[in-house]
Chain A
């Protein structure tokens, strides 16, 4: 007998949706781990899983909020510093009923105020706490906003390729259309406005109304930081095309170089002045999962809306209220992240010491990993490296036989041989364009390129030589196969 809910009668949008970060490779990696193999997960930015210790101060404050009866215990000072105790009391006073009560569906007003103050310090422009919604991690916020925007398959969202799979998955689930735009690998994964125009024109030709544009800055998975000039162009472009700009800025703390600091889309917009600063619709996202905090398990995040009309804000609020409220401990983490210990506080020195330690280690590992993948020039910040590999025809044939994209097969083999878990580029919205290539005599590319995304959290030092060896072993396609490193992160097999 067939089941009432069978694969055949599932919502088609669910079937269409792919989520690479936790797809086939992740499952296979988990299996290998169960079999006792040591797997280095580099595919989800999840630093605590790789041994990064949490910062002490926020954990002390949360523990006290969890167990408020400790605050009355005369011995509490034996294991908790006075500023953590004071901070816990302050947070509990902001809530109506501590961590165990639903908060306002937009988040605790006091925490939203702290977020607004943080934004003001960062950008130099005041921010309105009423336009800041706290969420269970940034991905929930992205879902909420996309759900408000997408009405059907003819609504399109501009998403950078390569992209973080959250966007393709969410857009598919919500039944909208993903309109890709391409980052320029040779220009440090920068943005080319002419490309954007082409993407929009192409989408319109297919009857798709492009309604919003996602930028991921600093970038995931490619790791680029956008320049002010580039951000200005993007803002102008969105304004001309009347698109909502969705600024995914969750990596704003992860800058591993000094020459190009993070600048928020909001600051650039407001610097541009009216009329555009009063017209362009912008939603900016942030989280406690990334940065050097890396508190992924807490699911804390926020989005801030600029120039979204009050009636639309009300609707977004209504949808948030159906889920009652974001988790309260995650909200407190967000409050702590945007308002950490200050100079003069008892915990300040320890906080700074720990933060520096983590950031330096991340910086070191970012360079190690990218050196390993030999794409150092392209990766200036954030937690990812994105090397390009060129696969031999035999490898592509083998993959086709198995019904897998060649780079998926590559990643699977790499995983089996070395225990390094990566995400294949093809899952991140890169298609095989073999047919078109053949018809273009102007292009000199013989084999289509494939990509592997590797993330930098590994304790192992990886040099180019040993990586080449590992890749060679990973392939095992036949006898006597050689791996040679060409210029510019291209490996030839």
Chain B
């Protein structure tokens, strides 16, 4: 085989040498005259090539990589890490004694405890050889042992160390499908589920399928979770913004969607999909049912894929709002496979369990042709499969202990404790923010964030300009240096031009909230005093 190809190469090179001698001065190739024509051509071709520009440097790296941004882990976090090291090396070197990370939805890094039942099952699945031991019964609850047996029976060969089906282990998908069915009251098909390493790879996969060039657009809310802007940039598409209305609690207006869609179209953009984040990140609003129906109608009418980021579905804190999945909404409207293409993303990182490090999640895809589904499967298979521990956890969060199970009471107590505490923290932070001069903050109906608007004085904006930084990043940096509180500037999420915000999680431990409030209040007052005068 190799011989055929070498021969082919030889032919080509012979041709090449003829071409090159016609386009170059003979003096260039004369030193090579003593070599065989093929070798001469090779040498010659090598000299054609400038060497200094090729390998990975900042000038030769994929420009799409340069273009994408991800503020949640950007400059502010780098400064925070330096400050933390500083505090460790020289205690007392800063006006605060610890860094308070309010930048990222990573609850267990802020001491939130994992749900015991989930972890019992995971431990047993990771080390199944102890399942039969009598001592195990003294260390683990009976229903966790039973569940581990059930799960292992669903895994071919009971092998948690093997690659699985690229969509995820079939038995676990069955469990998740039942969980979706129980949530929505409409059937779910395990073959529609793709288990992924967290929700982010699923979003990437959809962007990869949808985006062919910069002429393909994806409608995204502004403010948005920067995974969207980053993955659209990485795949070379165009983000088509639609603005959420801060005045109406980050309302999603259909007229705004229509307006932005038409503008994009008139710019030659082929809009392919609409991203909706519900509950909202960073904005924390929970969509009303009527609004969701309008969104579905809009996607159906305009022929858009609806990408529903529903990773915060368990995080709703206000009694007047309820989470409804878009799958449920479409089915309750009588729409099925033929009517609308819908992708729903779910993750084990959020909810009351907050298992970010596990990288578990799934997407449910409905309304796609068999050919497209095959392509999605192919994409999933390139990565072989998602991690098994994350897959098991995804099945657990969609089928937690039920009334009557041994662990039910402790499970419910743990769940309730996390959710009610998050609700209290959201309220306390929101009240504190609203009491600051020039700050307004919508309530966090759901998710894990507050996104207050700060009306910055002109002097502060000028100072930021001089420091060559966005005014809200300027504010966030001063806040960090003065208090140790880490927030993400609103510019990382995009916002209505001329308005400034920051995103602050509601995740710090409850006993730390009063200190955060007082430090923030004190800082803000000083800041305004300095820049208003």
Contact = CB atoms under 8 A, between A and B. Distances in A.
A75 B1 CA distance: 63
Contacts of A76: 139
| Interface core residue of B114, B210, B211, B230 (most chain A CB under 10 Å) | B114
Contacts of B6: 182, 195, 198
A443 B3 contact: yes
Contact of B139 (A75, A150, A183): A75
Contacts of A98: 108, 114, 357
B356 A102 contact: yes
B325 interface: no
A294 B388 CA distance: 14
B55 A243 contact: yes
Contacts of A51: 157, 159
Given A49-B162, A66-B122, A185 B2 contact: yes
Interface in A2-51: 2-7, 9-15, 17-19, 21-23, 26, 30, 44, 46-51
B426 interface: no
B108 A299 contact: no
Interface string A222-266: 000000000000000000111110000000000000000000000
| Interface core residue of B10, B165, B359 (most chain A CB under 10 Å) | B359
A184 B2 contact: yes
A319 interface: yes
A150 B54 CA distance: 11
A143 B201 CA distance: 12
| Interface core residue of A1, A73, A149, A451 (most chain B CB under 10 Å) | A149
Contacts of A195: 2, 6
Interface in A274-309: 281, 289, 294-299, 308-309
Given A318-B68, A322-B68, A140 B61 contact: no
A378 B208 CA distance: 39
A433 B388 contact: no
A50 B201 CA distance: 28
Interface string B156-174: 1101111111100000000
Given A136-B197, A149-B56, A182-B5, A319 B234 contact: yes
Contacts of A149: 56, 61-62
B389 A298 contact: yes
Nearest to B20: A205
A11 B204 CA distance: 13
Interface string A427-466: 0001001001100101101001101000000000000000
Contact of A7 (B8, B126, B357, B372): B372
A298 B62 contact: no
Contacts of A14: 208-209, 375, 378-379
Contacts of B111: 97
Contacts of A4: 272-273, 299, 303-305, 341
B61 A63 contact: no
A321 B70 contact: yes
Contact of B106 (A48, A102, A241): A102
B57 A309 contact: yes
Contact of A5 (B1, B11, B341): B341
B466 interface: no
A98 B64 CA distance: 34
A66 B126 contact: yes
A7 B371 contact: yes
B135 A17 contact: no
Contact of B8 (A47, A436, A449): A436
Contacts of A221: none
B79 interface: no
B368 A97 contact: no
Given A49-B157, A70-B123, A204-B49, A100 B42 contact: no
A157 B354 CA distance: 40
B440 interface: no
A54 interface: yes
A173 interface: yes
A486 interface: no
Contacts of A308: 56
Given A62-B126, A281-B56, A296 B135 contact: no
A489 interface: no
A56 interface: yes
B114 A100 contact: yes
Interface string B321-341: 000000000000000001001
A244 B13 contact: no
B356 A324 contact: yes
A218 interface: no
Contact of B66 (A170, A281, A315, A321): A315
Contacts of A60: 127
Given A63-B126, A436-B4, A48 B161 contact: yes
Nearest to A183: B2
Nearest to A333: B161
A262 B11 CA distance: 37
Q: What 10 pairs between A and B have smallest CB-CB spacing?
A: A328-B357, A22-B381, A63-B127, A297-B388, A49-B162, A100-B108, A97-B109, A67-B123, A327-B359, A48-B161
22 contacts: A4-B299, A5-B210, A6-B372, A26-B381, A49-B163, A51-B159, A59-B126, A67-B120, A97-B111, A105-B73, A182-B1, A182-B2, A198-B6, A202-B9, A205-B13, A209-B49, A242-B55, A298-B161, A323-B198, A328-B359, A329-B358, A433-B1
Given A23-B381, A299-B386, A319-B68, 14 more contacts: A4-B273, A5-B273, A6-B371, A69-B119, A75-B139, A139-B382, A183-B2, A200-B46, A209-B54, A242-B53, A312-B61, A322-B70, A322-B200, A327-B389
